[in-house]
Amino acid sequence: MRPSVDDRTTLSLDTLLRARLSEPPGSNQPKAGLGEWMGPFRGRKRGQGLDFDDLRLYSPGDDTRHIDWKVSARQNQLHTRLYREEKEQIVTLAVDFTSPMFTGSDRLLAVSAGKLCASLAWYVCESGGRCGLVVQTDTHTASLKPSGGEKGALAVCAMLHKQFKAAKALSPEAPSEAQTTTPNDTHTAEYKLKSEKKSDNHANTNGDTTLTLSDPLVSLIDHLTNIGRHAGCVILLSGMDAPMETLQQPLAKLLIAHKTALILQQDKLEIDGLPDGHYHFKTKNTTASVVLGKRTSAALKEALQDQHEALLAKLQSLQLPVFSSQINHDKLRLDLARLGLLA
- Residue ranges per domain, the chain? 5-31+90-338, 42-88
Which residues, 6+ apart, have CB-to-CB distance to 169 below 8 Å? none
pLDDT at residue 46, as a whole number: 41
Chain centroid, CA 336 distance in Å = 11
Chunked mean pLDDT (size 10), the chain, 343 residues = 69 91 51 43 46 79 87 91 72 96 91 96 93 95 95 96 93 54 37 34 45 75 92 95 93 95 92 85 83 88 91 94 92 91 85
pLDDT at residue 56, as a whole number: 87
Which residues, 6+ apart, have CB-to-CB distance to 21 below 8 Å? none
37 and 232 in contact (C-beta within 8 Å)? yes
Instruction: Quote the strand ranges of 30-89, DSSP E.
Output: 37-57, 79-88
pLDDT at residue 44, as a whole number: 45
84 and 47 in contact (C-beta within 8 Å)? yes
Burial of 139 (0-12, 13-18, 19+ CB in 10 A): middle
* CA dist 304 → 268, 270, 310, 333 (Å): 11, 6, 10, 27
202 and 212 in contact (C-beta within 8 Å)? yes
* CA dist 149 → 130, 131, 299 (Å): 7, 9, 50
Domain 5-31+90-338 sits in CATH at 3.40.50
* CA dist 47 → 70, 85, 338 (Å): 22, 4, 20
**Quick check: helix, strand or coil at residue 190?**
strand
